[in-house]
Structure 1
Amino acid sequence: MVAKVAFIGTGGTMSSVGRGPLDLLDYSINKTMLHAEEILDAFPEVREVAEIVPVRFKAVPTTALGFPEWKELALICDRLVAEHPDLAGIVIGHGTATLEETAYILSLTLKVSIPVVIVGSQRPLSGLSTDAALNLVNAVRTAASPASRGRGVLVLLNDEIQAAREVTKTSTFRMQTFRTPDFGILGYVDGDLVRYYRSTERRHAPDTEFDLRPLEALPRVDIVYSYAGGDGTAIRAYVAAGARGLVSAGFAPGMTTPDEGVALAEAVKAGVTVLQSTRAGSGVTLDGHKLRDMGIIPADNLNPQKARLLLALALTVTRDPVEIRRIVDTY
C-alpha cells in the first residue's frame, strides 16, 4: 500500500527559479518561486514514492516567515490530519535561512501525532545539480516511514535526518550546511531505506504545554549579541521597546562584558526575563553563581535563536523564573 503524504510549500530556495542552470547564488533577483503543486510538477519522481497531497500555502523568501505563518502551518497540519485519516506524514518545504526556527517552534507546539518533516535545499530548483529534488523525495520517504513517529519535528537535507531542537545551519553555500554540533544526526535516508540510530531526549510535540492556536502574537523577546567592548546600549534599547524577554548571546561558556552585565541586571530588576546563551555554536551555558545572583537563567545548549523561541513560548504560560528554568530543562 502506497503511503499518503501531504506537501506544504512555503517558498525558499527549493521553490526558486533562477535565470538559468548556472544561476546558483543570486537567483532571487529573478523573483520567481513555485507553489507546492508546481514543485511536484517539476520533480514528478516524488509521486513515485508516495501519494502526495499538495497544499498551496505561500511562495516567499524564508526571511518573510514568522509567527503568523507558524500559527497557520499548525492549523493546516490539524486540518490535514482531520481531512485525511490515512495520512502517514506531512512535509513542509522551507527556505534554509530560518528553517531551524520554524522546525523548532513547530516541534514545541504541533498537536498532530504523525511525522512532520521540514525540508529545504541549498541550490535553487532550476540550478545545475540542484539538491531540491532528492531532498524532497527523501523528506517524503522520511515522513512516510513508521520509524519516524514519536520523534518530534524532523529536518531532512543532504540524506541526513536531524532533530528540530538540535540542528542548525552552519554554512552559507555548502550542501552539508545543517549540522547538530553536540550530538550528531538521528539517521540517514539511503535510497528507499530510512534508518535511525538515536533519539532526542527532550520533550517535543505533540506532548507539550504550548499551543500557537489561541495566540494572537508571541511576547517580544530579543537577542543581544556580546562583543568585545559592548556597552549595553542595545540591551537598554530592547527593554525600552517593550521586550518581555532577552536572550544574551554571550561569550562561551556564558559571559558578557561588564557593561552588558550591568544592563542585563537592570533588565531583570525591571521584570524582563533573561536567558544566557552563547555565541559559540556548541556546548552548554555555564550555570554559575554569577548568573544565579543576577537572576539570569542559563539556556542549556540552545543556540540564541532557539532560546528566543522557547523563552517566548514559556512567557505565554508563566513568568515565574523557577518555572521558566524547568521549561528550559524540559525542552
Structure 2
Amino acid sequence: MKHDDMETRIASRDLVRPRIAVIGTGGTFAMHGRHRFDWIEYADSGVIHPIDDLLARLGELAPDVDVVPIPFRSLGSVAITPKDWLELAVLIRDTAAADPLLTGFVVTHGTATLEETAWFLDLVLAVEQPVVLTGAQRPANTDGSDAAANLRGAVALAAASASRGAGVLVTMGGLFFAARDVTKAASFELAAFEAPPYGPLGRIDADVSVVWRRRVFRDGQRNPAFGSVLDHAGAHAFTLPRVDIVTSYAGADGTAIDAFVSAGARGIVCAGLAPGRPAAGEMRALRDAVQAGVAVVQATRAPRGVVPVQRFLTVDGILVGGDLAPAKLRIALMLALAVDHSDGVASERAASVNVERLQACLLDL
C-alpha cells in the first residue's frame, strides 16, 4: 500500500465514529437462563439468542461507537472444533478485507474454550484491526450477569487505537490479556480468567477507559506464524492434522499414547509432571510414537511451568514446549504440521517434518 493511501485511510477512519463488528458464536453469553439465578445449568433451557437480538436487548454499549452485528453460528464452547476455528478466522479475514474502515472486531464466545479460539486466531490472522474475544459467566437475563459489562469492555478495547498491532486480546471482568497467556482458572467465578505468571496487559475502567500497563512485544508488523493455513481453509479435503494431549500422573503408562497413535494422531503433546517430565511408564510409548513418525512435544501440567531443551528428551527425538500451556501447544503443533502439509493431504509419516525447524518454531511463539 502506498504511503499516501495509508494516510488517507487513517484520516478517513479518524473522522467517523468507530465501527466495531461483533461476531456472535454462542456460549453462555447467548444462552437464556430459566430463572433469575440460573447460573449453572442454563444450557438446559435450550434457548440461544442470535447476536443481533442480544445487541438489541443490551442497547448502547459504549459512547460514540457503532456496533455491527455479524452472525456466525450458535455453539456451546464445549462443542467447538478446529473446523469452526478455520471458518471463524476466514470470516474475520474476509470481513476486514471487504470493509477496511471497520475499527475492530469483537467475538463473543463460550468461556470453556475461549482461550483456545483466541490463540488459534492469534496465530493465523493478519488483519490490521484489533480482534477481542469476550464471554460471560452468567446468562444476560440472570441476576448479576456479566454479559453486558464484558461486551461493553470488549467494544471499548477493540475501538482503542492502542489495541492495534497487539495481536488477539481477551477481556473478562474489566481486565484484558494476551491470547498466548490467558487461561480460564475458575468454573463459575466472575473473575474467571488469569494469565500466570505474566498477568493482565491492562484494565478497562468503569467509564470504559482502556488502561495499558504493559505491551505485547512484536517484532515489526503483524505477521502471524501460520497465516498461510487460511489460504487452504476453503479446500474441500483440507483438515488440520490430529494432535492429542496426554496427561501424566503417578503410575501412568503408555496406554493412552498408544491409543492416540492408533487413532491416527500426527502429533502428541505430553502434559507432563511439574518438572516437565512424563511418568516413567510413559517413556516407552513416547519413544515408539516418535519412531512411528508422530511429532511428540513435552509440556508440563504446572500452571507456571517451563520445559527447556534437555538431553533426555532430545536423544529420543522429543521436542520441548517451553512455557506454552499444553492446550496452546496442541494448537501450535496442529498449525505447524498443517503448514508443512498445506496441500491439505498430510503424508503418511510426520517424520517428513523438519524437526529442528519445528522445535525452533514452537520456542519462538
2:62/2:156 contact within 8 Å kept: no
SS in structure 2 of the partner of residue 315 of structure 1:
helix
1:111/1:205 contact within 8 Å kept: no
| 1:113 partner amino acid | E
Identify the match of residue 313 of structure 2 among 291, 313, 317: 291
Equivalent residue for 1:330?
364
Change (3 A) 1:30 1:203: farther
Task: Say if 2:60 is the partner of 1:45.
Answer: yes
Shift of 1:203: 6.9
Equivalent residue for 1:111?
126
Shift of 1:326: 1.0
CA-to-aligned-CA distance 1:163-194 (integer Å, 9 cap, x gap): 00100011101111110001111111112211
| 1:273 partner amino acid | A
Identify the match of residue 267 of structure 1 among 271, 277, 289: 289
Q: How many pairs align?
A: 331
Change (3 A) 1:228 1:172: same
1:49/1:137 contact within 8 Å kept: no
Identify the match of residue 228 of structure 1 among 242, 250, 258: 250
Shift of 1:205: 8.9
Identify the match of residue 302 of structure 1 among 308, 321, 324: 324
SS in structure 2 of the partner of residue 24 of structure 1:
coil
Distance in 1, matches of 2:64 and 2:281, equals 57
Change (3 A) 1:294 1:24: same
Using the TM superposition, name which of 26-35 and 205-214 deviates more: 205-214
1:268/1:295 contact within 8 Å kept: yes
| 1:321 partner amino acid | V
Q: Max radius of gyration: which structure?
A: 2
Change (3 A) 1:223 1:325: same
Distance in 2, matches of 1:315 and 1:218, equals 8
| 1:196 partner amino acid | W
| 1:328 partner amino acid | L
CA-to-aligned-CA distance 1:185-214 (integer Å, 9 cap, x gap): 111111221111112336799402413321
Distance in 2, matches of 1:91 and 1:168, equals 18
CA-based RMSD:
1.5
Using the TM superposition, name which of 304-313 and 318-327 deviates more: 318-327
1:112/1:205 contact within 8 Å kept: no
> Normalization by structure 2: what TM-score?
0.88
Distance in 2, matches of 1:261 and 1:245, equals 16
CA-to-aligned-CA distance 1:119-164 (integer Å, 9 cap, x gap): 1011111110100001000000000000001110000100111000
1:153/1:205 contact within 8 Å kept: no
Change (3 A) 1:205 1:9: farther
1:224/1:246 contact within 8 Å kept: yes
Unpaired runs of at least 5, structure 2: 1-15, 341-352
Distance in 2, matches of 1:296 and 1:203, equals 28
Identify the match of residue 76 of structure 1 among 84, 88, 91: 91
Distance in 2, matches of 1:308 and 1:49, equals 40
Distance in 2, matches of 1:177 and 1:49, equals 29
Distance in 1, matches of 2:318 and 2:218, equals 22
Task: Say if 2:355 is the partner of 1:321.
Answer: yes
Identify the match of residue 151 of structure 2 among 127, 136, 140: 136
Moved over 6 A (4+): 202-205
Distance in 2, matches of 1:173 and 1:317, equals 37
> Normalization by structure 1: what TM-score?
0.96
The correspondence of residues 1-331 of structure 1 with structure 2, limited to 5 A, is 1-46=16-61, 48-190=63-205, 191-201=207-217, 206-211=222-227, 212-213=229-230, 214-215=232-233, 216-318=238-340, 319-331=353-365
Distance in 2, matches of 1:179 and 1:243, equals 30
1:202/1:330 contact within 8 Å kept: no
Identity of aligned residues (%): 41
Distance in 2, matches of 1:23 and 1:75, equals 35
CA-to-aligned-CA distance 1:20-57 (integer Å, 9 cap, x gap): 11111110000111111011012103264510110011
2:62/2:208 contact within 8 Å kept: no
2:38/2:142 contact within 8 Å kept: yes
Distance in 1, matches of 2:83 and 2:97, equals 21
Distance in 2, matches of 1:222 and 1:201, equals 30
